[in-house]
Amino acid sequence: MSPKTIYVTEAAMPPLEDFIPYLQQIWSTKILTNGGPFHQQLEAALCAHLNVNHICLFANATIALVTALQAMRISGEVITTPYSFVATAHSLLWNGIKPVFVDISPDTLNINPDKIESAITPQTTAIMPVHCYGHPCDVDAIQKIADIYNLKVIYDAAHAFGVTTETGSILNHGDLSVLSFHATKVFNTFEGGAIVCPDAKIKQRIDNLKNFGIVSQVKVVAPGINGKMSEINAAFGMLQLKGIKNALQRRREIDAIYREQLAQVRGIRCLEHSSEKEANYSYFPILVGSEYPLRRDALFEKLADAGIHARRYFYPLITEFPMYRSLPSAAPSNLPVAIKAANEVLCMPIYPDLSRSELQKIINVIRESI
């Protein structure tokens, strides 16, 4: 029997029999989409769980990002990070917006606030930072800049489900925050996303935009898109939410074991948690430095040979793709920290069902290369 392949993350799958009553309810109501009962229940449950005022569910986070920009009427240029999944920048292009990339901080790998101000031009209308790996951005510094220059702030919070600081949920910062509920995330609806918004008026606008701009059978008020979450996805989210506390606890335990056993491995740096009150342990990135005997790609291949599929999140940088590399802000001289991180980062498997023996196997491969 071949050994199990170990991935970076695997969706937490409740027993099928637990999901069947939800399917029966959907079938009995005959409401499959358009804000049905489970959709409404999940919105309410997530607002309570995340301690946010309003949330709009989406079919996926990319459509949510596109719609968030539309809802805030963003145009011109938006300052963002090159160190993210391509959907961050793609959402700007979809709206005819020019991304302007600035470098990241070496300790957090989040956008560096010290680099933002010099990138602002008369065409700049917003900042789109990313809470990378669930680690909060310097929200106070970013908001200070936004206030001075009258800019909107839309956070790509794809990784930041449930993350809190001393001031409360990280999702309450900025004008809007966008979550991902993709199957690889801490909390998932198989596929899905959401926009966290501060008031009912903005929520109504977003809800209109995700439903083609329709407000009644005879009235369309905006060129919206079809971004609605289905009842099946919402029902799965309700089921997943029941087990989120245990899932986060198990991730926390795995995170601690990694840190303890890799602490003395020369050339391996574990990205530290900041001072957030509650992390979500959504990823476990390590940086493979020059003091480690293998380069990052060689370690990546060695892990793969052992049936361990780590991921080089985020390599290549967004700015290396053809639709972005010609932008002046994509110049390598503008992004030295991001380039270094992209060439060193390797995200290790972390998910609730990762067994102690599988975890030890991963650690052993890293340590045996010394």
- Rounded mean pLDDT for each run of 10 residues along the chain, 370 residues in total: 76 80 93 96 98 98 98 98 98 98 97 98 98 96 98 98 94 98 95 97 98 95 97 96 95 96 96 79 97 98 97 97 98 98 98 96 92
Domains of the chain, first to last: 16-242 (3.40.640.10), 244-368 (3.90.1150.10)
DSSP letter (8 states) at residue 86: T
Model's pTM, two decimal places?
0.96
Contacts of 229 (CB under 8 A, 6+ apart): 33, 39, 42, 57, 58, 59, 189, 192
Residue 116, helix vs strand vs coil: coil
Helix axes 356-368, 296-305, angle to 10 degrees: 140
Residue 99 pLDDT: 98
Dihedral sign of CA atoms 105, 110, 111, 113 in order: negative
Tokens encoding 228: 């609605």
One-letter amino acid at 314 equals F
Burial class of residue 222 in the structure, from the number of CB atoms within 10 Å of its CB (0-12 exposed, 13-18 middle, 19+ buried) = middle
Q: Using an 8 Å Cβ cutoff, are 129 and 142 in contact?
A: yes
Residue 18 pLDDT: 87
DSSP letter (8 states) at residue 59: S
One-letter amino acid at 169 equals S
Q: Using an 8 Å Cβ cutoff, are 92 and 152 in contact?
A: no
Residue 3 pLDDT: 66
Residue 275 pLDDT: 63
Tokens encoding 196: 């966290």
Residue 2 pLDDT: 53
